[in-house]
Amino acid sequence: MEAQQAKRLRVPKGSVRIVRGHKSKDKRVGIDGISLKMTLDRLCKYSK
């Protein structure tokens, strides 16, 4: 299941908005207008 989520996050950077910096507390990722709640640990894994 995690593999599927990783594939889902691999899309053109233009359509993905990852909240970072002082807004990292929000823990929200916007993909094509859909906001998903994910743990920051997962985000770090997939972004590398």
Range of the domain at 40: 2-47
Strands in 28-31's sheet, in edge-to-edge order, are: 16-18, 28-31, 34-37
Give the model's pLDDT for residue 11: 54
Whether the pLDDT of residue 43 is over 60: the answer is yes
> pLDDT digit string (tens) for 11-39?
555 545 555 544 444 455 555 444 555 56
Inter-residue contact 15 to 31 (CB < 8 Å): yes
Domain count, the chain: 1
Q: Output the six-digit token pair for 21.
A: 């910096």
Whether the pLDDT of residue 45 is over 50: the answer is yes
Inter-residue contact 31 to 9 (CB < 8 Å): yes
Report how far residue 34's alpha carbon sits from residue 48's, in angstroms, rounded to the nearest whole number.
22
Give the model's pLDDT for residue 31: 52
